[in-house]
Structure 1
Amino acid sequence: MAIRLATLLLSLLLVLYPVSTYADFQEQKSSLVQSSQKLSLTPPLHIRTIFPKATRVGEKQTGLPVYPVYQLNQLLGYAWLSHEINNLPGFSGQPIKLLIGLQANGVFSKVKVMEHHEPVFLHGLGNEALDQFTDQYTGHSIKKQVIISSTKKSKASSDAAGAVFFDGVTKATISVMIVNDVVLATALQVARDKLEGFSLPSQSALRKKRTDSVESMDWPALIANGLVHQWNISSEDVFNSLGRQYSDYSHLFDLNDDSNNSPSTFTELYYAYLNAPDIGSNLLGKTTYEKLMKELQPGDHLVWIGSNGLYRHLADDFIPGTVPSRLSIHQGGLNIEIKDINAPDEETLLVSTNTPQITQSAIFKIRDIANFDLGGKIHIGMHINLPRNHLITDSLSLTNTAQLPNSQWIPVEVKQHTQTPLWIRIWQDRIPQIVILLTSLIILFVAFIKQDKISRNTVRFHQFRWGYLWFTLLFTGYYAQGQLSVVNIFTLLHAIADDFDITIFLLDPIIFILWVVTFISLFVIGRGLFCGWLCPFGALQEMASWCGKKMGIKQIRLSENKHRKLIYLKYPILIGLVAVSFYELSLAERLAEVEPFKTSITLVFVRHWPFVLYALALLVGGMFIHKFYCRYLCALGAGLAILGALRRFEWLKRIPFCGTPCQTCHNRCEIKAIKRNGKIDYNECVQCLECIAILNSDDQCADTLLKRKKQKKISCVNIDAS
């Protein structure tokens, strides 16, 4: 019967594995929390769905509140809740809360909507429309410029130079543009702060604009001093680069327009940094400059851009107040989003003397969150898209480099502070959890040392054990997420094979403490300390077994022969998983789903049904056979048993009467770790101390009962003799 049950459960896993793989894919695509619902689970549980290869999610970091995500010892990227970095309100007045994943190479892993109150989606278009919009970020780099358009499909415009077009949501333009602002702004901030190769060139000093008296300059002087930059793009260069002639695009240009009377000039572009008083005051006039600066939020920047020629910097269908599709600005390898402030014509009118005629003129804003460096080089891109017909568009991107002169900013030296290592900050943040866990471990150690004394009162001993198992399940498992896994063995072995770095293991203090305690205990008393007392799923199995008995389910008592065969089943599972991990780690991680720990403990059964069904099937099996999974299928238990074979002590007390002839402990041991000869199989023993309680009980131990009987007989003889 037991072998059939084991075969049935393994078959169930093999059948459900391909289903669960598909389900996991669907699980990643489905929205975890629909609109207007509050977050019901902690962010790390959701992060695993936007980083499918993640084996570990670090604690939320101090400073910038992001979660580092790892595949074993490799940093996959960072995840964060948008409203914790940028609380920009949506159209409803409440922030649209997003969970954003950014890979270490600056590519979006996924953007998921966690909570929103946008009426257009709640009571009209539905949540799927917003989910479909955020799905477009997956696979796109933050180095790319994103343009939201309801008329240009991203696929249709995939060949267009310089810009990635996202399909906007009709009737929800404001909402999706707010989402885009939040996604790009927070991602840029995270990349600057956390990702290698994305930081600004100069981090040793801050730069602020000069506030000295303004020097009066006309247009030629502004150009000569590098305060206004001029970039001329000739038609010959553009058409030669495209391998075409002017006649191929003559239908696009209106030569009757005075600004197009010179076909040789494709684009004549001018741009200037307005915050600098020398530039802003001379270009726009003191009154307009002061008005703009007063309206500007602290840390934001304004850039003026004007153009002439056949192809100007704003398209005919450009919507004021949005991001221009033909222009982009990059600094430090990242796109710096610029957005039109929709300034009235009188504010964009240039007042400096000798200013040439400029056909198009607009003012754009760079937000504070972009960490724009005043003194750093900027690369302004002109993205040219010329449709020859309805099917073919020729594209070209050109770049011009500029830098604000030193005369316009002041370096502010910043004292460098050595940052506290991340693992120390994580330990500091989790001090309460660490203290509680260490206290509980001390209590457990004392109980093991005093096992004779504590087990003499059977009722109190059972109360202590069940209380500790509940603590292990609720605090260590569900709250502190302290469930060890065979994946941790992968981590250790791969770390040893590579350059071992203990800081990787220090990033999760709860797991680290449990592993240290478990590892030490293996050489003292074997695997039992963890498997019998500290494993959350092990505690859950004992509770399932207890429920089975209370429900009157007939318990299956395995014969010694069958039991001894089944206990070796977990070892090939362990060896197979470890071997596959060195062949293909991602496959080993999927196969590690043979462990129900992730479903039942880490995700609290909030997962797609095949995973939940498998975990529940194991618990149901445990209602018939005590701790079925632990005894026969647990790869982690197998690994601990291998090291536990090196233990130095026979921790559990035995007496000569045990096994010969007394079989009480052998028959009562539900884990069947006590052999007929009375010896304990420490590779299987979970150190429940039930045998010690029996041994110290005046009512259960056969040796004690026999001695009491003999003593009573002697007393009776003495009484008769007297």
Structure 2
Amino acid sequence: MPFFSLFRAVTLFYLLQLSGAAFAQVSDDQMRTIFPKLTRVGQVLENSDVTPVYQLDQLLGYVFETNDLTDLPGFSGERINLLIGMDAEGVLVGLKVLNHHEPIFMHGLGERPMIQFINQYEGVKVDKRVIVDSRHSGQNQEGSSTIYIDGVTKATVSVLVINDTVLASALKVARSYLEGFTQPPSVTVREDVFQPYNWRQLLDKELLRYWPLSSAEMAGGLPIALDDYADSEMQQALDESDTPGRYYYAYLNTPVTGKNLLGAEDFDRLQTVLRPGEHALLVVSTGSFSFLEPEFRRGTVPSRLGMSQNGLPVDIRDLDFFDTRVPMLPSDAPELAQVGIFRIKAQSGFDPSQPVTLSLNLDLARNHLIRDQAQLYDSYQLPVDLFDIQVIEEVKPVPLWQRLWLDRWLQIGGLLLALLIVTAAFVWQHRFSSYSQLFHRTRWGVMLFTLFFIGFYAQGQLSVVNIYTLLLQLKKGFDIQVFLLDPVLFVLWTYVFITLFLWGRGVFCGWLCPFGVLQEIVGKVAKVFKLRQVKVPPVVHARLQKLKYLLLLVLLASAFWSVSLAERLAELEPFKTAITLTFVRSWPFVLYAVLLLGIGLFVHKFFCRYLCPLGAGLAVLGKFSLFHWLHRRAECGSPCQLCKVRCDIDSINRDGSVDYDECIQCMECIVILNNKDQCAIELSQSKQKQRSRERQGEIPAQQL
């Protein structure tokens, strides 16, 4: 009873740890570790989860969590949530891990290599191309558009997911809030379209828009007459004209408008003032009512004048272009009361070839307590022949899983070759096993290839952790991309799943499990040194076989309670220590793996037979296999017990039948069966025939 109470307490502790990590709020102190000069945290930006941070009134940059901006699953199937700080120039200044479930970092290499990896992004500007490649690390040249950073051995998939997560989220923020990070526009100005026009001709060609507003139009949206307002500016405008609002506006980026309206010198100067992707709008007034509010300050966003496109606001800001200079407008231009040029930022998504709406926002004082508002609009579209309009399809990056498949073609090819040989061995197993020497060489060749190429090199060790991922994906919505991230595991799991329903668990357990091969090698060493094997009593053997099924149930149940706890319990498997990390790990894990292999010197494949939860899971599915191709003879089990005695895994019953739930398909029994010089029944029958022929005098006795 105390044991179960302790177990529940420990499990609850891990569950609370997991929940806390998943839902913890980012504190000001965490932000300050990224921006030490931070004195003020701004409000979270509207329609996003990006937080601006300031030193007094100076913008230092933005802080954001990657989970709010990307949806890239890691190797575990869960996203890797990072806290990222980026300055106002688009440079990454700090990254911190908030939450992750990557097994290789949680229970393998530890989190230190992960932290060292993400620290390499500090100082990287997000407009750079970042490549994870240790072979070229240190070759980054100043001014180069490509930066190479070191990966993490044994954690290829995880670090590539982190790389995509960092760059995708940071670039998304930069494109939304920073200048110079917009995508190339789909509309470009035609520089070759130009012809000298005066003011009147620009109006006739609809290159310049005239927007007159009479007092009646201005009063149309207001509850009382204009004369009743206490606004001195409005009253003065009404005294001067019945059309107080007379405005002209034009798009200046095209030579035919900009050069004709500003003159060649000022047009060229405008091109140097505007940043890449930005636009300029000229607004002038000949009436007495200004398009700018009386308290307007140069270089800021006007509140009276507004602009929109496709129902969305377009931010315009005074460029303060002329300052003290006098505009050189066409000679036939009317006498102007006011001139302004406004900048439209690249991030606004403005398309000059589409209709645009200019608005005049009236805010008039009825008295010192009451104010009324009204909005007046004018729509306008430039001739489309001023632009090259291209339908630019967004170039989406190649999905990570596709890049991984292309990069690992050698590993995939080697694995497919091995699977082809194994398939042939099973399809023609009886014909093949009749050549015992060739069969043994082939099987050992496949097993050594499994250990060194599939296991150590390609990291193709299947694990019960993969079953966790599958079950959790089925629970929350299956996403095949999670499994495609590791092509070797995907191909191997697909093959094992299919062959489970053909020949059972033995295809994997006896031929394609790297740790299983390691145990086979230990067993071979025991035979070479003639170490005495411990014979497990049948009753104890039968009970121990059920232990792995109990362990499987516990592990699967824990996965639905707490993924973090389940991953810790999965350390029951020594696969990560022995194969993935090649024994380069802390001593308790290494001691455990070595101890299991040491027991295997005296009890053949001890872990496989009694403790392996993965083998138990495969055995459950293997019950539905279509074929039991390990043929038996009538004499097998009665009287012959040779195959049972030689079966190292002890999966042949006394009656000669095969226990396919435990059999690893080493095929040693059918090698004996299909070779007359090994099968006891064949040898006995051969001797009987020899004696019979001798008694009949057909052969001399000395030939016996």
Report the TM-score, using the length of structure 1 for normalisation: 0.50
SS at match of 1:483: coil
Contact 1:675 1:681 in 2 (8 A): yes
Deviation of residue 444 (structure 1)? 1.6
The reply to whether residue 76 of structure 1 matches residue 79 of structure 2 is yes
**Which amino acid letter does the alignment assign opposite residue 206 of structure 1?**
S
Which of residues 689, 701, 706 is equivalent to 2:679? 701
Superposed displacement of residue 635, structure 1: 0.9
Are residues 1:659 and 2:663 paired?
no
Aligned partner of 1:255 in structure 2 is: none
- Aligned in 2, Cα 1:348/1:460: closer, same or farther, shift over 3 Å? farther
From 206, 210, 216, the equivalent of 2:186 is 206
Deviation at 1:192, TM superposition (A): 7.6
Give the Cα separation in 2 of the matches to 1:516 and 1:526: 14
Q: Which residue of 2 aligns with 1:645?
A: 623
Distance 1:67 1:557, change over 3 A: farther
Q: Which residue of 2 aligns with 1:491?
A: 469
Give the distance between the partners of 1:102 and 1:277, measured in 2 at CA: 52
Partner of 1:414: 391
Cα-to-partner distance string for 1:87-121 (whole Å, 9 max, x where unaligned)? x9x9xxxxx9x9998999xxxx99x9999xxxxxx
Letter in 1 for 2:186: L
Residue equivalent to 2:691 = 713
Change (3 A) 1:423 1:442: farther
Distance 1:188 1:569, change over 3 A: closer
Matched, 1:515 2:476: no
Give the 3-state SS of the residue equivalent to 2:186 in structure 1: strand
What is the distance in 2 between the residues matched to 1:436 and 1:519?
Answer: 19
Distance 1:533 1:424 in 2: 27
1:56-75 equivalences under 5 Å are 68-70=72-74, 74=77
2:540 aligns with: 562
The separation in 1 between residues aligned to 2:512 and 2:402, in whole angstroms, is 26
SS of the equivalent of 1:646 reads coil
In 2: Cα distance, 1:654 partner to 1:69 partner:
49
Contact 2:73 2:482 in 1 (8 A): no
- SS of 2:676's partner is coil
Displacement of 1:669 in angstroms is: 1.3
| Partner of residue 684 from structure 1, selected from 662, 666, 671 | 662
1:618 corresponding residue in structure 2: 596
Q: Distance in 1 between matches of 2:253 and 2:581?
A: 50
Match of 2:513 among 515, 530, 535: 535
The one-character-per-residue Cα deviations of 1:547-600 (angstroms, maximum 9, x if unpaired) are: 454466554332323222211111111101111122223322232222233343
Q: 2:423 matched to which residue of 1?
A: 445
Alignment CA distance shift 1:209-1:524 (3 Å): same
**Alignment partner of 1:567: what SS?**
helix
For 2:522 and 2:257, how far apart are their aligned partners in 1?
75
Q: What is the CA–CA distance in structure 1 between the aligned matches of 2:98 and 2:324, rounded to whole Å? A: 41
SS of 2:389 mapped into structure 1: strand
Give SS of 1:712's match: helix
Q: Output aligned runs, 1:1-20, within 5 Å.
A: none
Alignment check: 8 A CA contact 1:541 1:622 kept: yes
**Residues 1:578 and 2:556 aligned together:** yes
Separation in structure 2 between the aligned mates of residue 611 and residue 571 of structure 1, nearest angstrom: 23
Displacement after TM superposition at 1:532 (Å): 0.8
Which residue type is aligned with residue 389 of structure 2? V
Query: Take 1:643 and 1:670, find their aligned partners in 2: how far apart are those partners?
Result: 23
How far off its partner does 1:128 sit? 8.9
Deviations for 1:55-88, whole angstroms, at most 9, x for unmatched residues?
xxxxxxxxxxx9953365x551599xxxxxxxx9
Superimposed CA distance per residue, residues 279-338 of structure 1 (whole angstroms, 9 cap, x where no aligned partner)? 9999999789969979999x68799xxxxx9x999xxxxxxxxxxxxxxxxxxxxxxxxx
Match of 1:545 among 523, 546, 550: 523
Q: For the structure 1 residues 499 and 113, does the alpha-carbon distance in structure 2 shift closer, same or farther, using more than 3 Å as the test? A: closer
Deviation of 1:609 (Å)? 4.7
Who is 1:122 aligned against?
none
Name the CA shift for 1:720/1:541 in 2 (closer, same or farther; >3 Å): closer
Superposed, which structure 2 residues align to 1:7-406 within 5 Å?
Answer: 68-70=72-74, 74=77, 76=79, 131=119, 134=122, 186-188=167-169, 191=172, 206-208=186-188, 211=191
Tell whether the 8 Å contact from 1:207 to 1:373 is kept in structure 2 after alignment. no
CA 1:276–1:492 in 2, change beyond 3 Å: closer, same or farther? Answer: same
Equivalents in 2 of 1:477, 1:497: separation in Å? 30
Deviation at 1:679, TM superposition (A): 1.9
The alpha-carbon deviation at position 481 of structure 1 amounts to 3.5
Separation in 2, partners of 1:611, 1:274? 70
Distance in 1 (CA, whole Å) between partners of 2:436 and 2:72 is 47
- Structure 1 counterpart of 2:504: 526
Q: 1:605 to 1:570 in 2, by over 3 A?
A: same
Measured after TM superposition, the shift of residue 488 of structure 1 is 2.6
Q: In structure 2, the residue corresponding to 1:541 is in which secondary structure?
A: helix
Q: Secondary structure at the match of 2:601?
A: helix
Distance of 1:702 and 1:609 partners within structure 2: 48
Structure 1's 554 and 425: CA in aligned 2 closer, same or farther, altered over 3 A? same
Query: 1:486 touches 1:592 (CA, 8 Å); kept in 2?
Result: yes
Q: What does the per-residue CA deviation read over 1:614-661, in whole Å, with 9 as the maximum and x for residues that have no partner? A: 334433333343222211111111111112122333221211222223
Looking at structure 2, the residues matched to 101 and 406 of structure 1 have their Cα atoms a distance apart, in angstroms, of 49
CA contact (8 A) 1:478 1:602 kept: yes
1:476 aligns with 2:454: yes
Distance apart, 1:349 and its partner CA: 11
Letter in 1 for 2:558: V
The aligned counterpart of 1:632 is: 610
In the alignment, is the contact (CA less than 8 A) between 2:637 and 2:657 conserved in 1? yes
Partner SS for 2:535 = coil
Residue deviations 1:113-135 (CA, integer Å, cap 9, x gap):
999xxxxxxxxxxx999959959
Cα distance in structure 1, aligned partners of 2:462 and 2:324: 67
SS at match of 1:588: helix
Tell which has more relative contact order, 1 or 2 (C-alpha 8 A, sep 6+): 1
Q: In 1, distance between residues paired with 2:552 and 2:175?
A: 36
Q: Deviations over 1:318-375 (max 9, x none)?
A: xxxxxxxxxxxxxxxxxxxxxxxxxxxxx9998969999xxxxxx9x99xxx998777
Deviations 1:162-192 (A, max 9, x none): xxxxxxxxxxxx9xxx999x99994456548
Cα RMSD of the aligned pairs, angstroms, is: 6.7
**2 CA distance for matches of 1:588 and 1:497?**
16
Displacement after TM superposition at 1:546 (Å): 2.8
Aligned equivalents of 1:594 and 1:631: distance in 2? 14
Measured in 2, the distance between the counterparts of 1:285 and 1:102 equals 56
Unaligned runs of 5+ in 1: 1-13, 26-50, 54-65, 80-87, 91-95, 116-126, 143-173, 218-223, 226-272, 304-308, 314-346, 357-362, 377-404
Deviations along 1:176-234, whole A, 9 cap, x unmatched? xx999x99994456548999x99x999997244564669999xxxxxx99xxxxxxxxx
TM score, norm. by length of structure 2: 0.51
Q: Is 1:671 the equivalent of 2:646? A: no
Instruction: Please tell me whether the aligned partners of residues 637 and 654 of structure 2 are also in contact (alpha carbons under 8 angstroms).
Output: yes
Check if 1:588 corresponds to 2:563: no
